[in-house]
Chain A
């Protein structure tokens, strides 16, 4: 079936509307806000007044509302359906957090307002820090990093500062080949060279490979745990011992903390630094790609090097230390990750989520996430091939062995999921598994929802195996768009709207 079979005059189809760009419908003389006219003299402009037009289109308020409402309907969303994107953790986003983050005391609070006028925000940061350090069993936390990758950078820079303070120079960071791409990128950004560690056939760190590369030039080992194959690293305590024995630090990518929060304290595993994606584990909304927040918990050994600002309690009032010269005795902040004090708006949402769950609810959420992933794994492994022996943690990983000789690829299979009303799973990641399909159902799905999802995937897999593959060719067929030409997009990039050439249009 193609969209051309039942053409419409408007080009719209029922509830599916096509929408032009604001630049194509905007006209001079329209405006979506009402302001008085003001004349401005040149006396204070230093001769720098803008002369030409900017080129912004004019639209009224109803036009703007309709345009963005229609655009929104071309998006898949967790509110609308199961979103099994492994490693990204698309769980329910409670609206309580949205409501509370919009209280004027948070949303309308200036970052450089006198600290006496911001005691509630500072107290909230301390409360969030208490939850994060308690859940991880780590003594300190740097709250400012703005996302997971920013947290990784913060952790690695802390490690760098600690090594320099020891009077040493180490140049390498060891990273498993299965790691998220941000790990090597962050290490390289922090001025280290990256050395890859092999995986065992069981999908875990190869200890021999690690041992052979650990020496006095290694600054840190970066490990995701549970790892990107959805498995807990059984030897993690031994790994920590080896890393520490070599004088290096153990960095943990906490992207998958949501599998173990409330059951395992990373501090007990020998971790020195770990970032926590508040937008994953503590469910602040992903917003189409951000904003997130990536606080980093730190071990006793790394805590003194945490970046500015620092929070201290003095005579009953909370104070931000914003300059190195004000740092308390023994504290040697390595620098600053960003202006101001972190993603306060996300802190409010994450704390609302934590308080709502409580310690018991966080543990239950982790268990349900792991249970749901294992349920998916157990229900599909008779038709799809799983590269590793279970149990898995919060993600079920399949490879494409079962697709061999069917003419269907991982990509085709995932795109048919779109026609079936689902967002695809994470594909081709981790890289260590051929044609990987990484499914993370999260704790937010009911059993009925999981059963329906499993039924759909199971039946799709049976179709493939029975040679009924026609609809897998060039899928999706039923989405707002069919497959898009990414090659041309990248070869001849069109990255902004340009006014059509009127002369050409007239010809």
Chain B
């Protein structure tokens, strides 16, 4: 087997040194009733690279990749162009095959990159500090709700109806055990009035902007109302590229900002691995979940970086930790940071502008089709259309024509006739025209 360096002779020599008669002697603590011979596993035998590649390529070939044709799906995961440099650099052995940087003297590469990541995330979100990443946007949102309950010592969380359904369910799954979750009704294309729901038992209000239908939400009034009652505003961003054009949640008064960072540096990967961003106001640093890289000096006085404030974490605090998280999303965070380093202020704001202008152009074209109505008046790169018929059926019909037309809202439990459509810098004029023509045909 190509991955196993020991030969039969090596094994015999090692057993002799140990003083064991055979391999079974090393497993002598396993109860006999629990020993499974090789024949007890109905599994194929070892294969060479050629065969494995053939098998997995066959699985891949049964999927329709976003790059195969005109593509407009979003709703929490976005197709963006990733510069070739990003994937090359994250595959450097020293980044790809290293462990969590617990030994800082020989992990400065990862630690310095995480410090840059934290600085970038804080700048994008308009917050004071960010952690070194969580699993993804949805789990980061759940962590934020629990953190708000800890900080305020209150048990009620109010979720906007515009929060992605998967995020709602992820929050409910853990936060229901620690408090009460109130979810506002979804109101596609319209901002619901959350203010009357906020009271002095409220730990936090969770608002996604752009919301799951693409609508931009004005966070400032909600932040003010929450603060007036001693509650926190948690802002959720599922499309980080929007932060290049839209006022940051920090600027709008958010206390905790969580985001899905997939759009930068990371592929669609059928839902994972992605990277969760988590940023807070300075006063909440010690209540944050997840790893933090911090700057310090070594014994010779040279600048260096370490994982810090680990007294919050499970390996020290055990059942009193701020979270159970251990492994995070390090390599995805690195991809995010390298992509954003390449973009810089200029590239990132241009990227955001291109996304918005593509979306406006597409929305205008589709809205002009008889029977189609654009229901999101303000949006970044994603909007929702009301169709005269079932949107899931339309999507299937267009998929058969090679166009992935968006996400039917019914996939997320919303109305049958709504279609959530995203446009990015990867869409061409031809894509936009093909979509408009095909949609008009099938309606």
Contact = CB atoms under 8 A, between A and B. Distances in A.
A493 B308 contact: yes
A370 B27 contact: yes
B58 interface: yes
A307 B116 CA distance: 36
Determine the interface band of chain A, counting residues with CB < 8 A from chain B.
35 or more
B185 interface: no
B66 A237 contact: no
Nearest to A121: B270
Interface string B32-48: 01111010111111111
Interface stretch (A20-28, A209-217, A242-250, A456-464): A20-28
B118 A496 contact: yes
Interface stretch (B106-114, B192-200, B223-231, B430-438): B106-114
B441 interface: no
A361 B60 contact: no
Interface in B110-147: 110, 112-113, 115-116, 118-120, 122-124, 129-130, 132-133, 135-139, 146
B83 A481 contact: no
Contact of B330 (A263, A291, A379): A291
B97 A285 contact: yes
Contact of A47 (B106, B218, B324, B340): B218
Contacts of B310: 490
A96 B275 CA distance: 23
A378 B25 CA distance: 14
B334 A109 contact: no
B360 A43 contact: yes
Interface in A30-67: 30-33, 35-41, 43-59, 61, 64-65, 67
Contacts of B300: 2-4, 482
A268 B4 CA distance: 28
A360 B346 contact: no
B268 A496 contact: no
A358 B329 CA distance: 29
A50 B120 CA distance: 16
Contact of B353 (A38, A69, A90, A277): A38
Interface in A295-322: 307-308, 322
Contacts of A189: 146, 174, 323-324
Given A30-B344, A496-B118, A110 B79 contact: yes
Contacts of A83: 99
A165 interface: no
Contacts of A181: 313-318, 321, 326
Contacts of A78: 97-98
B298 A485 contact: yes
B28 to A, nearest CB: 7
A469 B15 CA distance: 33
Nearest to A487: B296
Given A64-B338, A335-B169, A447-B13, A118 B270 contact: yes
Contacts of A277: 327
Nearest to A485: B296
Interface in B61-105: 61-68, 71, 73, 75-77, 79, 83, 85, 87-101, 103-105
B216 A48 contact: yes
B401 interface: no
Contact of A94 (B3, B45, B110, B315): B3
A201 to B, nearest CB: 16
Interface in A148-171: 148-150, 152-153, 157, 160
Contact of B356 (A40, A90, A127): A40
B271 A289 contact: no
Given A104-B60, A288-B330, A480 B46 contact: no
Interface in B404-434: 404, 407, 411-413, 425
Given A40-B357, A423-B103, A488-B296, A291 B110 contact: no
A494 interface: yes
Interface string B268-309: 111111010000000001000001111111111010111011
B327 A54 contact: no
A452 interface: no
Interface in A356-374: 356-365, 367-368, 370-372, 374
A15 interface: no
Interface in A120-154: 120-121, 123-124, 127, 131, 134-135, 137, 146-150, 152-153
A260 interface: yes
Given A31-B343, A104-B67, A418-B103, A391 B96 contact: no
Contacts of B260: 339
Nearest to A260: B30
Contacts of B109: 71-75
Contact of B5 (A51, A343, A445): A445
B324 A50 contact: no
A186 B399 contact: no
Q: Which one of B34, B75, B345, B359 has the greatest number of beta carbons of chain A within 10 Å?
A: B34
B26 interface: yes
B399 A288 contact: no
Given A424-B103, A496-B118, A360 B65 contact: no
A149 B251 CA distance: 34
Given A38-B353, A495-B285, A185 B314 contact: yes
Contacts of A64: 85, 89, 338, 341-342
A289 B353 contact: no
B271 A342 contact: yes
Contact of A185 (B13, B66, B174, B321): B321
13 contacts: A75-B106, A78-B97, A117-B64, A150-B139, A286-B330, A290-B327, A337-B173, A339-B138, A365-B3, A367-B26, A423-B106, A480-B105, A497-B119
Given A390-B18, A391-B26, 6 more contacts: A153-B324, A260-B27, A262-B41, A342-B272, A344-B270, A479-B106
